[in-house]
Amino acid sequence: MTSHPFEPMLEVATYSLESRPSLVLLEDFCEVPDPLPGFGAFVDSLPDIYAGKDFKRLVERIVAARLADKPVAMALGAHVLKVGLAPLLIDLMRRGILTDVAMNSAGAIHDFEIATVGRTSEDVGTQLPAGDFGFSDDTGRGLAEAAQAGAEPPGDTEPGLGRALGRMLLARNAPHVSYSVSAEAVRLGLGVTAHACIGADIVHMHPATDGAHIGAASMADFQHVCGLVSRLNGGVWINVGSAVVLPEVFLKAVSVAINLGRELGDMTTANLDMIRQYRAETNVVRRPPGQGLTIVGQHEILLPLLRQAVLAKLEDAGWKRPEGEQS
C-alpha cells in the first residue's frame, strides 16, 4: 500500500457492513415480467411530438442496433441501482440487448453492497454527524481488493475495476451475487467498467485504499470504453442518471475514436434522467456525432417502459436472443 501523507487516515474507525442500517433493500427491487402483449401497439400510439417522438426513436435505434449486431451500452449513475433496477439491467444483459455497462465508482459500491448483504445506501444525515458516514470496513476493503485485482490481474486476465469487481463477487459466491450487475456481465462475457473520481467516493476514505491501484484499474476501464466507442457506429450509448463523470468519460472516448479515424456518424446517444443536466446534455446528446436524444423521467418508471418497448419491437422483428444466454 502506498504511504499516506495524511497519516491519521490510517487510524479511522470502521464497522461491519452487516451492522449498518441501509435505506435500499432487495425486497423493494423491481420485477422483470415477460413482454406484455400489445405493448408494441402502445408504443406506436404515442404522439410523434417531443418525448413521445424521442422515445420511439430510441426504441427503434436500439432494435436496429441489436438486429445488426451493434453494441448497445448503458452508462449508469448510482441511483439506477439505488432505485432497485439491477434485475432489469441483468435481464437486458441476459437477453442480449445490453452488450456493455459502465458505472461510476459509486455504482460499483452499491453493486458490491447489494451482492454482499442484500441492501445498500446509508442514511447520510444520521451517519455523518456520528462520524460513521462511509466507514463500512467490508465495502472499503472489498473495493480496495477489486482495485488491486483490476490493476494487477493475474496471467492473461483482463485488467479493469468493473471486471475485477464482478470476478471477485463471483469468486466469493457473494450471498446475493445474482443481483450484481458487474458479476452478471463478467459471467456473460460482456463489457463492464467502473470509473473512479478519487476523493468523491466513500471507499477512498478507507485505510486499505491505494490510489495507484484505483488509477491503474480505472485507466484500464477508460481504455476499454475507448475501444467500445470506436466500434459504436450503428450502435447506441445511453447515459442514465450520471450527471458528470460518465458524460466526461464518454466525450473523451469519442474524441479518441475520431482522432483514430473511426466513423461515428450513425451512432445514437441518449440521456435519460429526472432533470436535464448540463454535462450530460452537452457531452452525450449535443456534441458527439450522430443523433442525440433526451428523455426526462424517473429511472424506476422510464427504464421499465423502455425495456417493454424494446422487447416488444424485437419480438415483432423476429429477434432471437444470442445462443447460450439465459433468462
The neighbour count for residue 175, using CB atoms within 10 Å, is: 11
**Mean of the pLDDT values across residues 111-124?**
95
Q: Report pLDDT for 323.
A: 56
Which triple of cell numbers denotes residue 318?
423476429
pLDDT band for position 10 (50/70/90)?
A: confident
Query: Is the pLDDT reported for residue 117 higher than 50?
Result: yes
- Angle (CA) 39 49 89, round 5°: 45
The CA distance from 34 to 327, in Å, is 10
pLDDT single digits (tens) 172-186: 999 999 999 999 999
Query: Is the pLDDT reported for residue 11 higher than 50?
Result: yes
The neighbour count for residue 198, using CB atoms within 10 Å, is: 12
Percent of the chain with pLDDT over 70: 96
Domain parsing of the chain, residue ranges: 11-27+36-316
Secondary-structure percent of the chain, ordered helix, strand, coil, rounded to 5: 50, 10, 35
Q: Calculate the CA 49 to chain-centre distance.
A: 29
The DSSP line for 28-60 is GSPP-PPPPTTHHHHHHHS-SSHHHHHHHHHHH
Query: Is the pLDDT reported for residue 2 higher than 60?
Result: no
Q: Report pLDDT for 206.
A: 92
pLDDT single digits (tens) 130-142: 998 988 899 999 9
Give the SS3 label for residue 16: coil
125, 99 Cβ separation under 8 angstroms: no
pLDDT band for position 326 (50/70/90)?
A: very low
Q: Report pLDDT for 1.
A: 46
Residues 98, 99, 105, 111: what is their CA dihedral angle, to the nearest 10 degrees? Answer: 60
Which one-letter DSSP state was computed for residue 326?
A: -
Higher pLDDT, 177 or 5: 177
pLDDT band for position 20 (50/70/90)?
A: confident
The CA distance from 173 to 302, in Å, is 32
Q: Report pLDDT for 13.
A: 87
The CA distance from 45 to 52, in Å, is 9
The domain 11-27+36-316 is placed in CATH, from the list 3.40.910.10, 1.20.120.550, 3.30.1360.170, 3.30.930.10, at 3.40.910.10
Percent of the chain with pLDDT over 90: 88
Query: Is the pLDDT reported for residue 9 higher than 90?
Result: no
pLDDT band for position 320 (50/70/90)?
A: confident
**Mean of the pLDDT values across residues 66-83?**
96
Query: Is the pLDDT reported for residue 29 higher than 50?
Result: yes
Query: Is the pLDDT reported for residue 112 higher than 70?
Result: yes
Q: Calculate the CA 202 to chain-centre distance.
A: 18
| b/e map 53-71, b = 16+ CB within 10 Å | ebbbbbbebbbbbbeeebb
The CA distance from 320 to 244, in Å, is 36
